[in-house]
Chains A and B, each alone.
Chain A
Amino acid sequence: MSKKIITLLLAGVMMLSLAACGAKEAAPAPSAPSAPAASAPAAETTGLTEAFAESPILVTSGGQSADYQMIATVMGKVGMDYEVSNLCTSADLGDAKTLIIVVGGSSKGLGAAGIDADGELARLEELIAGAESAGLSIIAMHTGGEARRGDLSDKFITPIFEKADYAIVVTAGDEDGLMAGICANNSIPMDAIASISEVTTVLPAAFK
Chain B
Amino acid sequence: MTKKNYISAALCLAVSIAIMISTSMNFLAAREVPMPEWGPSVTEVKMLSDWFDGLAGTNGDTPVYVLKGEKEGGAALVLGGTHANEPSGYMSAITFIETAVVEAGTIYVIPYTNHSAMTHNDPGEGNIQYFTINTQSGPRTFRFGSRATNPIDQWPDPDVYVHYPSNQQLSGSETRNINRGYPGRADGNLTERMAYGVAELIRAENVGITFDLHEASPEYPVINATVAHQDAMNIASEGCIELLLGGIDMSLEQSPTNFHGLTHRELGDYTDTMAILMETANASQGRLRGASSVEQVLGGLDRFYVINEDLGMLYVPFDESGHPIEERCGRHLQGVYEYISAYNNANPDDAILYSGVPGYAELFLMADPATLGGPHLGSYLK
Tell me the minimal C-beta distance from A20 to chain B in angstroms: 5
Interface size class, chain A: 35 or more
Residues of B within 8 A of A144 (CB): 251
Bound Cα distance from A159 to B78, whole angstroms: 42
Check if A28 sits within 8 Å of B256, measured CB to CB: no
Among residues 281 to 318 in chain B, which have CB atoms less than 8 Å away from a CB atom of chain A?
285-287, 309, 312-315
Q: Which of B171, B219, B252, B313 contacts A69 (CB 8 A)?
A: B252
Interface residue tally of chain B, by bracket? 35 or more
Given the contacts A22-B122, A33-B313, A66 and B254 also touching, CB distance less than 8 Å = yes
In the complex, chain A residues whose CB is within 8 Å of the CB of B227: 108
A66: chain B residues at CB < 8 Å are: 228, 233, 236-237, 240, 251-254
Q: Looking at the complex, which one of B237, B249, B312 makes contact with A70 (CB distance below 8 Å)?
A: B237
- Name the residue in A65, A67, A69 with the highest tally of chain B Cβ atoms < 10 Å from its Cβ: A69
- Is A48 an interface position by the 8 A CB rule? no
Contact indicator B241/A106 (Cβ below 8 Å) = no
Indicate if B371 sits at the interface (CB-CB under 8 A): no
Most buried by A among B148, B151, B219: B219
A195 within 8 A of B: yes
Q: B222 and A26: CB pair below 8 A? A: no
Contact with B along A3-39 (1 / 0, CB 8 A): 0000000000000000111111111111101111000
Contact A30 B221 (CB under 8 A): yes
Select which of B228, B245, B287 is within 8 A of A27 by beta carbon. B287
Residues in chain B within 8 A of chain A (CB atoms): 120, 122-125, 146-148, 151, 171, 173-174, 217, 219-222, 224-225, 227-228, 230, 233-234, 236-238, 240-241, 244-245, 249, 251-259, 285-287, 309, 312-315
A/B interface sample: 18 pairs, CB < 8 A = A19-B123, A22-B120, A22-B124, A23-B123, A24-B173, A25-B173, A27-B285, A36-B312, A66-B233, A66-B237, A69-B254, A70-B240, A106-B254, A108-B255, A114-B258, A145-B251, A148-B251, A197-B241
Beyond A23-B124, A29-B219, A65-B253, 19 additional pairs, beta carbon < 8 A: A20-B124, A24-B125, A24-B147, A25-B171, A28-B220, A31-B221, A33-B221, A33-B315, A35-B312, A66-B228, A66-B252, A73-B241, A74-B241, A109-B254, A112-B257, A114-B258, A147-B225, A147-B249, A197-B244
